[in-house]
Amino acid sequence: MSGDNRADAVFYTLALILPLSALLARRMPVRKLLLMIAAWVAIFLVILLILGAGRDTLRPAWTRFTSLFGDDEQRVSGSTVRLRMAPDGHFWATVSINGVSRRMLIDSGATTTSLSLDTARAVGLDVEQNPFPVRITTANGTVLARTSSIGKLVLGPITATDLRVVVAEQFGSLDVLGMNFLSRLRSWRVENEMLILEPRQP
């Protein structure tokens, strides 16, 4: 069992034990108590099945929903942006691309910022403008991608204009901020599971 699976098992066990312990603490007839315990176990199993089946499908929608109310993973102090490492071990940033909000993975291993087809269309990029695709190497192999540029990308107080991007169907729904964005900053570093981004002074 992996570390993530062990953590999930502990969490689900505690989530089940808490309501059961509350029931046991109440003085009620044994039959009624057993019925209540069975009901809680059934409810828990249904929720567990829903979460297990729909975790990957619901994650993007949940991420966008929580970002509307502020995100403890992303903080701004003056002109500095601090991104806390997510449970998946990556750093994610909520950005505005040509006025459209998106959640992007920050990857220093990616040379160029990449967008999914859906995001490229949502922000108004004409990916057919450049008829000559470029061959790029990804973790999943080599793909052919179209090139374009973002007019304006905003991450907290940090603004990047005319940012080159690559777009390909093979990227799925993932949007990635690459080194061509990070290299525009005055500095970026990781401290205590926190990615710290500092823009160049005007």
Kindly report, residue by residue over 172-183, the tens digit of the pLDDT. 889 999 999 999
Task: Note the pTM of the prediction, 2 decimals.
Answer: 0.61
Q: What percent of the chain has pLDDT over 70?
A: 69
Min mean pLDDT across 16-20, 63-67, 106-110, 113-117 is at 63-67
User: How many whole angstroms separate alpha carbon 152 and alpha carbon 194?
Assistant: 25
| Token pair in block for residue 118 | 């859906």
At 109 the three-state DSSP class reads coil
Q: Go through the domains of the chain in sequence order and give each one's CATH number.
A: 3-67 (no CATH), 74-198 (2.40.70.10)
Work out the number of other CB atoms within 10 angstroms of the CB of residue 64: 13
34-58 pLDDT per residue, tens: 777 777 777 777 776 666 555 444 4
For helices 30-67 and 3-25, the axis angle rounded to 10 degrees is 130
Rounded Cα–Cα distance for residues 165 and 163 (Å)? 6
The answer to whether residue 3 scores a pLDDT higher than 70 is no
Nearest to 156 by CA among 106, 198, 120, 124: 198
Rounded CA gap, 17 and 21, in Å? Answer: 6
